[in-house]
Structure 1
Amino acid sequence: MWVASSTASVLRPTTVALGKFDGVHLGHQRVIQPILQPAPNKAGEMEKWGDEANSPQKSVTPQAQELTYSTVVTFRPHPQEFFTGTPRTWLTPLDEKVQQLRSLGVEQLVLLPFDKELSALSPEDFVDKILVQQLQCQRISVGQDFCFGKQRQGTAKDLQLLAANYNIPVTIVPLQTHTDNLSDSGFVSLPPISTSLIRQCLESGDIKSANLCLGRPYTLFGIVIQGQQLGRTIGFPTANLQIPSDKFLPRQGVYAVTVSILSDIPDATTPQLILGVMNIGNRPTVNGTNSSVEVHLFDWSGDLYGQQLAVQIIEFLRPEQKFASLEALKNQIQQDSTIARKILSGEC
């Protein structure tokens, strides 16, 4: 998939899905669907970033009957980060976003530099200068709640009207809720799926709802680094993960997880899932002061240092707590492991 950090290197013409797309959740996927096209024969294509010699070959969109690139257009930095000056953590940092979009069949990701100049564009100028002139857009898809232009003055309906002046069709996708894909599942209906809702669910430990919104388990990717090795002394060795600083972490506590060792997996091989438990927190029982992410793998042994793990979070077990002794901590981890095994094997 081609990733362009400015409009100067964009592959044109385009069919565009517009938005922030943090999480690439089910609602985002519905917005992206109208711009996707049947996958052409791309034998021998090399997927590289910023290497135009190996850019994807054009393909035909049935909607426009023209050669176009299916393109997700988003903003970097996040508009909220630009206006507040506060660094933002992401459900899907850039590497993860690229991975998710590629799996959907998107051919190109454009990261519009969100700066003073872009934020000052009127809705009319955004359509004319960005979508028409710079992206050569042939079709657009946005969510029902999409806003754009200076002070978010433009709505999805405004975009539809403005784009019509250039004969560009705009699909406005209704907001998706849990109940769109669920019938008699017993889940309580929640507000429309959004990045904010998923972050709230993760902050409260409601992993099931977060995963429902995402359409997949929320996953942490990290490199195994040297820890204090205290887990080994109580019979529960853990892998300490270095998580990207811009990755959003869920509530502190203990989780049932499944783990893949990505460093050992060839590209064409499905990774083996290893069951385990994960702790996110400061380890108060051993007077820890810094937040850490530690994973204990069930029925597994070996050297993991330097390897990349993908940790899929399945269920929140309990908040982090301080125990009176290491023995008490050991007993609790044993209980956590027993519960996690039952959950992960479908017995609960």
Structure 2
Amino acid sequence: MGHQTLLLRTVEKAKELDLPSVVVTYYPNPSVVLGKKPNFKYLSSEREKEELIRGFGIDYLVVLDFTLELSKMSAEDFLEKIMIKTLNSKHIVIGYNHFFGAERRGDFNLLNSNKTTYGYAVELKEAVLKKESKISSSLIRGFLEKGEMEEAKILLGRNYHITGLVFEGAKRGRTIGFPTANIKVPEDKLLPAIGVYACFAKFGGKDHKGMVNIGHNPTFDGLGLHVEVNVFDFDGDLYGKEIELEIVHKIRDEKKFSGLDELKNQLTKDKEESIHILNFD
């Protein structure tokens, strides 16, 4: 929601000034390159980010390759070389918690003190609050890591998405009437808390209702972390295809069952609850 206000304001101001709207971002995340968070997990892939930004009506997305060399560029050089000489910025909208340049010295104050020199205007977007908490990616991560999908949705403005390729699994689900597609999710994608979720599965240009288990399959080998989706009322080959999961609600925690009959009974209940939830989403 915080980024949404920035994007909306940027589009609004660009139309007012009859100028193209541009968003500048980085990849990889600076904390990865600088070694502060080598196992950093992303909320959105670069493709998802591009689609989301395009959806707000932004004209251009500039993704800077964040390198050690770029991290050493002074804030003044970043402003002059990238924001002025490369992008010819005339009006800059910056978030309260955004910094640029070496040692994170670039901020609203630095931009404001240089606006006359370079002939641009600048405005600061303050934090958007939710129950007295500043909306941030950290707050969203916290909700996802607890499986609180509805709270995350409010801040994201949409359900959380996971995308990956289907690969061949052990095929145990089909023996009890609940075939699953095993999804290979990029290692740097943040997964919600371990558990069973109601979801929509999108492939072939269509949305299908389903439920997804994110966990270790404790009833079987209990090894590794798996993302397995049971797509309701579908009986086809998905191997090698890309599936996008829209995760709606956590139904329950993962648990170990005494046998296949107990597991099947629970999955039947999970499916009924998922259908009820998805019919009202």
TM bucket normalised to smaller? over 0.9
Rounded to whole Å, the distance in 2 between the matches of 1:162 and 1:117 is 24
Match of residue 320 from structure 1? 254
Match of residue 294 from structure 1? 228
AA aligned to 1:151 is: E
Rounded to whole Å, the distance in 2 between the matches of 1:62 and 1:277 is 42
Match of residue 82 from structure 1? 33
Rounded to whole Å, the distance in 2 between the matches of 1:327 and 1:105 is 51
- Partners of 2:2 and 2:127 within 8 A in 1: yes
> Unaligned regions of 5+ residues in structure 2, if any?
none
Residue deviations 1:41-93 (CA, integer Å, cap 9, x gap): xxxxxxxxxxxxxxxxxxxx44444xx43211111221111111614221111
Match of residue 30 from structure 1? 5
Rounded to whole Å, the distance in 2 between the matches of 1:108 and 1:236 is 44
Q: How does 1:40-55 map to 2 (within 5 A)?
A: none
Match of residue 138 from structure 1? 90
Rounded to whole Å, the distance in 1 between the matches of 2:61 and 2:40 is 20
Match of residue 172 from structure 2? 230
Q: Tell me whether 1:102 sits opposite 2:54 in the alignment.
A: yes
Match of residue 91 from structure 1? 43
- Partners of 1:277 and 1:337 within 8 A in 2: yes
Rounded to whole Å, the distance in 1 between the matches of 2:52 and 2:241 is 21
Q: CA deviation at 1:297?
A: 1.6
TM-score, scaled to structure 1: 0.75
- Partners of 1:258 and 1:274 within 8 A in 2: yes
Rounded to whole Å, the distance in 2 between the matches of 1:202 and 1:90 is 12
Of 196, 214, 228, the match for 1:254 = 196
Match of residue 240 from structure 1? 182
AA aligned to 2:226 is: S
- Partners of 1:76 and 1:111 within 8 A in 2: yes
SS in 2 for 1:88: coil
Rounded to whole Å, the distance in 1 between the matches of 2:118 and 2:213 is 54
Rounded to whole Å, the distance in 1 between the matches of 2:166 and 2:100 is 41
Q: CA deviation at 1:334?
A: 1.4
Match of residue 215 from structure 2? 281
Rounded to whole Å, the distance in 1 between the matches of 2:146 and 2:132 is 15
Rounded to whole Å, the distance in 2 between the matches of 1:278 and 1:94 is 23
SS in 2 for 1:309: strand
Among all aligned residue pairs of Structure 1 and Structure 2, give the percentage whose two residues are the same amino acid. 37
Rounded to whole Å, the distance in 2 between the matches of 1:216 and 1:62 is 25
Match of residue 202 from structure 1? 144
Rounded to whole Å, the distance in 2 between the matches of 1:207 and 1:345 is 17
- Partners of 1:140 and 1:170 within 8 A in 2: yes
Q: Tell me whether 1:176 sits opposite 2:128 in the alignment.
A: yes
- Partners of 1:124 and 1:162 within 8 A in 2: no
- Partners of 1:145 and 1:156 within 8 A in 2: no
AA aligned to 2:213 is: N
AA aligned to 1:73 is: V
Rounded to whole Å, the distance in 2 between the matches of 1:335 and 1:274 is 18
Match of residue 152 from structure 1? 104
SS in 1 for 2:118: coil
Task: Tell me which moved more, 304-313 or 112-121.
Answer: 112-121
Q: CA deviation at 1:317?
A: 1.3
Residue deviations 1:301-344 (CA, integer Å, cap 9, x gap): 22222222221111111121111212111111112112212222
Of 123, 126, 130, the match for 2:78 = 126
Q: How many matched pairs?
A: 280
Q: CA deviation at 1:244?
A: 2.2
Match of residue 67 from structure 2? 115
AA aligned to 1:117 is: E
Q: CA deviation at 1:292?
A: 1.1
- Could you say if the C-alpha distance between residues 346 and 64 of structure 1 is closer, same or farther in structure 2, counting changes exceeding 3 Å? closer
AA aligned to 1:222 is: G
